[in-house]
Amino acid sequence: MKKTLAEIAALVDGTVTGPAGIEVTGVTNIDDAGPGDITFAVPPHLDKAAQCSAAAVIIPDTVETFSKPAIRVANPRMAFTTLLILFTPRHNVSPGVHPTAVVSHTARLGANVAVMAHTVIDDNASIGDNTVIYPHTYIGRDVIVGHDTLIYPNVTVREDCHIGSRVIIHSGAVIGSDGFGFITVNGKHRKVPQVGNVIIEDDVEIGANTCLDRATTGSTVVKQGTKIDNLVHLAHNVVVGENCYLVAQTGIAGSAKIGNNVTFAGQSGSAGHLTIGDNCVFAARSAPINDIPPNSFYAGFPARPHKEWLRSEAAIGRLPELIKKIRDLERRLGELENK
Amino acid sequence: MKKTLAEIAALVDGTVTGPAGIEVTGVTNIDDAGPGDITFAVPPHLDKAAQCSAAAVIIPDTVETFSKPAIRVANPRMAFTTLLILFTPRHNVSPGVHPTAVVSHTARLGANVAVMAHTVIDDNASIGDNTVIYPHTYIGRDVIVGHDTLIYPNVTVREDCHIGSRVIIHSGAVIGSDGFGFITVNGKHRKVPQVGNVIIEDDVEIGANTCLDRATTGSTVVKQGTKIDNLVHLAHNVVVGENCYLVAQTGIAGSAKIGNNVTFAGQSGSAGHLTIGDNCVFAARSAPINDIPPNSFYAGFPARPHKEWLRSEAAIGRLPELIKKIRDLERRLGELENK
Amino acid sequence: MKKTLAEIAALVDGTVTGPAGIEVTGVTNIDDAGPGDITFAVPPHLDKAAQCSAAAVIIPDTVETFSKPAIRVANPRMAFTTLLILFTPRHNVSPGVHPTAVVSHTARLGANVAVMAHTVIDDNASIGDNTVIYPHTYIGRDVIVGHDTLIYPNVTVREDCHIGSRVIIHSGAVIGSDGFGFITVNGKHRKVPQVGNVIIEDDVEIGANTCLDRATTGSTVVKQGTKIDNLVHLAHNVVVGENCYLVAQTGIAGSAKIGNNVTFAGQSGSAGHLTIGDNCVFAARSAPINDIPPNSFYAGFPARPHKEWLRSEAAIGRLPELIKKIRDLERRLGELENK
């Protein structure tokens, strides 16, 4: 792959500063960029980018002066994404069922499906067109997987779960493990059957070693366009809305209902049986324990409005000083009282 | 499966209000229940249940008036569990060893064992009667698994570990990985061999992608009836007592000894080398760093008695107000002093 | 294996107290030691060890009186490690490729490699001499694995990643899953291709079900000698220095740069795009959100110097008392004002 700056500018709707005929053969970050590469920069990284080895830099069109060949665009990150896709095309996977795969004769495979070595597809499962399943993945009975979905190695999808189209499931993820439901009788925990399933809608991404438990009855649901990172836990009967972000190591307790466009930052969580409104953001390590209205920005545990949390944190930092002040007040007051 | 309310009432030791001949064909939650289903409700969900589409509702026998056909019982959740088991019988697994499974000729398999596709059972391992092992599971050498145990896909049980009877191990769990033990010599970390094992007693459940490390020497132990959720970490030489709950993403550090009937709620943890008494409860995200006496309810980090934690949290919320009060006191005191 | 105390003392550079001809056949911890075993003890466990059933105890050479046969050494833990290695030799793995393994004809295997049942090694992957790969592990195309490395069952190593020599990767670990990178266009999250890789240098250990995401471009790096525990998450483009400890359930956000000899204790974490100096220690459950200078000991969230954190925690514990004091001051001041 080789492109001139002029060609790239046309692709990303940008304007070239410097020799438009410069050719680039790769696209990477500022630190790794060599003389054949193009990179991108936004403030505060513009100075660093100006001194890097790259042939050219994609920068915001609001930047006035820049000392290297550049392509100015409205959104450098987006242009960079476009070039990443262009310069590193998806690895070609040959369709077909590997001879070591074990596919039930009652399973249905769409056109151009790739089922790799040692994969197991159980009875009545259905796999849509162009879907790719890597080695050591287990697809349970009666599972439905949509088209153009990508399932990496060592994934488990238990019986009756539904996976949409253009979904990506990373290695080690477990879809449809039993919810954690017990009833205690005379001090012993008796298992409540978990007979529901998991529904993952279209365009969802599920991170490595993430666990999505099946519902007790009904469905645990991840709605379309939501992206879930690694080592996340969704308990039984959780519903996550559309276009959410659940960042790594987040855990959502049972029956929580999460709106659309909600972000849970890393290592955050949520209590169960509550409702989170649309467009909420939970800071890293926060966790709500009550319903949260739409458009809220919360932090801390128990989660409170981010501004309140900042104020409390600042106040905690001042506590030793406050203790001194109180001691001082007591002394001065005592002196006045003894006058 | 089709049952009249009269038949169901007999099964769950309840009394019918409304037409006892009504037939139901399914059992599910309030939201998903249709006109052929029975559901259950306890306060505060009785009003919602009274308006749902279900044919009938299982309610507490203390409820006086209820506008739908109902079955009154002492414990609705228990009755619901009984019906879930009745209406959704366990999927029938055919016993036998799949031709793609690799079973050592020195391994011993009990009667009616199911060893599914691509499973590997290593030398001298022993599997009890009626145990079911799903695909891609690895059972190491000298492992002993009891009878009527259920091991889901992609599980690893390393050498020398013991798994009891009626145990359930969910997908991706790792039993017997090395404990995290090193000794630092001249700035380099040298591995301390981890030559112990893991013992999981009868009736234990282990969640998806949960990790139980083997002991350095001796055993890491999970005693009978304890239920462990997803993504939990037990370090080397931990001992968890009987009938405990370890909820998702909890982590217990090395050599901690946990009593019976202890609950660690979600995302909680414990420091190592300490002793937790029987019947303790640790709230979500809490973690003790010292020994805890029996029957304690703790919260926060470092964990303290729940009432203390509540008081501290309330006080933190009042901090900005306290800062104002102190400022006010200083002003007023200054005025008095200058009189 | 049978050794006299005299022979053991020679091996660990110690001196015997008691009959030097006593023979021991095993080495284990104080609680599990029987009359044929040797164990070790350091304060405060010396009294317990003096009363245990072991034949002899390895103790610090600074201990003056001890009532059992003993071997005095400069570092008992180190001597114990030496004996653990001696008495429990590594299980012998036969080299060779199991007939059920699927190894691409373009993959290169070194001498004495063991590739166990159902393992998959994809195109152009290269495995160094004496490396052992357990069942159900997937090695992606163009992956390079060094010599004398040990990869346990159910591991995934995605395409293009590099694994060093003498590395240990525990079961369920995922190396090279996509970084969590998206760009939001009109409310929908579009995937940013993650075209970098993961580089794991020599002598690194990776815990069970730990996830190391590949870089967006360039590499996510774990430098030599670093030890990572179970269920840890490293996001894209993280760089972890040499000889670090990352204890269980820690999560490091994207592009964080961590120095050498850094310890993150259990359930800790780090914000992204920051720099952690050499020799830092982060207490359990802490997480820095800014750059941290070398040689720092931090605690809490947001992480602050450990002493400050201790002071804040103590002050929080005194808050209810402070509230009372302020109320008292207000009353007394009011009385003075009204005089």
What does the pLDDT look like over C29-48, one tens digit per residue? 999 999 999 999 999 999 99
Residue A92 has pLDDT above 90, yes or no: no
Of B280-294, B309-323, C161-175, give the lowest mean pLDDT range: B309-323
CATH number of A96-308: 2.160.10.10
Q: Work out the percent of chain A whose per-residue pLDDT is above 90.
A: 92
Tracing tokens 């291709």 back to the chain, one arrives at C193
Q: What is the pLDDT of residue B16?
A: 97
**Considering only CB atoms, which chain A residues are within 8 Å of C190?**
81
- Interchain contact, C154 vs B141, CB within 8 Å: no
Tell me the pLDDT of chain C averaged across its residues.
Answer: 96
Pairing between β-strand B304-305 and β-strand B297-299 as defined by DSSP bridges: antiparallel
**Considering only CB atoms, which chain C residues are within 8 Å of B138?**
134-136, 153-154, 171
pLDDT, tens only, B182-202? 999 999 999 999 999 999 999
Residue of A122, A141, A178 for testing the chain B interface, max B β-carbons within 10 Å: A178
Q: What is the pLDDT of residue C91?
A: 77
Burial of B95 (0-12, 13-18, 19+ CB in 10 A): middle
The answer to whether A3-87 and A96-308 have equal CATH topology is: no
Residue C90 has pLDDT above 80, yes or no: no
> Average pLDDT of B31-53?
94
A-contacting residues in B 309-338 (Cβ below 8 Å):
313, 316-317, 319-320, 322-323, 326, 329-330, 333, 336-337
Give how far C66 is from chain A: nearest CA, Å. 45
Q: What are phi and psi of C50, to 5 degrees?
A: -65, -25
> How many other CB atoms are found less than 10 A from the CB of residue C155?
29
CB B159 within 8 A of CB B175: no
Residue C147 has pLDDT above 80, yes or no: yes
Q: In chain B, where are the structural domains located?
A: 3-87, 96-308, 309-338
pLDDT, tens only, A56-70? 999 999 999 999 999
Task: Give the Cα separation of B115 and B103 in Å (integer).
Answer: 9
pLDDT, tens only, A144-190? 999 999 999 999 999 999 999 999 999 999 999 999 999 999 999 99
pLDDT class for A91, splitting at 50, 70, 90? confident
Of B106-115, B227-236, C84-93, give the lowest mean pLDDT range: C84-93
CATH number of A3-87: 3.40.1390.10
pLDDT, tens only, B200-214? 999 999 999 999 999
pLDDT class for C178, splitting at 50, 70, 90? very high
What's chain B look like in SS3?
CCEEHHHHHHHHCCEEECCCCCEECEECCCCCCCCCEEEECCCCCHHHHHCCCCCEEEEECCCCCCCCCEEEECCHHHHHHHHHHHHCCCCCCCCEECCCCEECCCCEECCCCEECCCCEECCCCEECCCCEECCCCEECCCCEECCCCEECCCCEECCCCEECCCCEECCCCEEEECCCCEEEECCEEEECCCCCEEEECCCCEECCCCEEECCCCCEEEECCCCEECCCCEECCCCEECCCCEECCCCEECCCCEECCCCEECCCCEECCCCEECCCCEECCCCCCCCCECCCCEEECCCCEEHHHHHHHHHHHHCHHHHHHHHHHHHHHHHHHHHC
C-contacting residues in A 179-218 (Cβ below 8 Å):
203, 205, 207-209
Q: What is the pLDDT of residue A337?
A: 85
Helix, strand, coil shares of chain C, percent, nearest 5, are 15, 30, 55
pTM of the model: 0.96
Q: Does the model's ipTM exceed the 0.90 cut?
A: yes
Chain A CA closest to residue B33: A218
pLDDT class for A273, splitting at 50, 70, 90? very high
Q: What is the pLDDT of residue A89?
A: 72
- Interchain contact, B316 vs A315, CB within 8 Å: yes
> Average pLDDT of C291-298?
98
pLDDT class for B265, splitting at 50, 70, 90? very high
Q: What is the residue type of B21?
A: G
Catalytic center residues of C:
236
**Considering only CB atoms, which chain C residues are within 8 Å of B318?**
323
Pick from B195, B233, B315: which is nearest to C249 by CB?
Answer: B233
The CA-atom distances, in angstroms, between B262 and each of B170, B252, B295 are 21, 13, 9
Residue C135 has pLDDT above 90, yes or no: yes
Residue B91 has pLDDT above 80, yes or no: no
Q: What is the pLDDT of residue B309?
A: 94
**Considering only CB atoms, which chain C residues are within 8 Å of B231?**
209, 231
Q: What is the pLDDT of residue B180?
A: 98
Residue C89 has pLDDT above 80, yes or no: no
Q: What is the pLDDT of residue A284?
A: 98
Give how far B284 is from chain C: nearest CA, Å. 14
Q: What is the pLDDT of residue C60?
A: 97
Pick from B32, B135, B205: which is nearest to A138 by CB?
Answer: B135
Give, for A257, the enclosing helix (H) or strand (E).
strand A257-258
Q: Which residues contact C4 (CB under 8 A, 6 or more apart)?
A: C20, C21, C22, C23, C24
Tell me the pLDDT of chain A averaged across its residues.
Answer: 96
CB C26 within 8 A of CB C87: yes
Pick from B168, B209, B245: which is nearest to A174 by CB?
Answer: B209
Q: What is the pLDDT of residue B129?
A: 98
Tell me the pLDDT of chain B averaged across its residues.
Answer: 96
Tracing tokens 């029957």 back to the chain, one arrives at B295
pLDDT class for B281, splitting at 50, 70, 90? very high
CB A162 within 8 A of CB A222: no
pLDDT, tens only, C227-243? 999 999 999 999 999 99
Give how far B172 is from chain C: nearest CA, Å. 7
B306 touches chain A (CB under 8 A): no
- Interchain contact, C98 vs B100, CB within 8 Å: no
Residue A317 has pLDDT above 90, yes or no: no
Pick from B209, B266, B330: which is nearest to A172 by CB?
Answer: B209
Of B1-15, B291-305, C89-103, C281-295, give the lowest mean pLDDT range: C89-103
Q: What is the pLDDT of residue A33?
A: 95
> Average pLDDT of C185-189?
94
Give how far A221 is from chain C: nearest CA, Å. 18
pLDDT class for B339, splitting at 50, 70, 90? confident
**Considering only CB atoms, which chain B residues are within 8 Å of C84?**
192-193, 195, 216-217
Pick from A120, A193, A326: which is nearest to B326 by CB?
Answer: A326
CB C204 within 8 A of CB C224: yes
- Interchain contact, A235 vs B225, CB within 8 Å: no
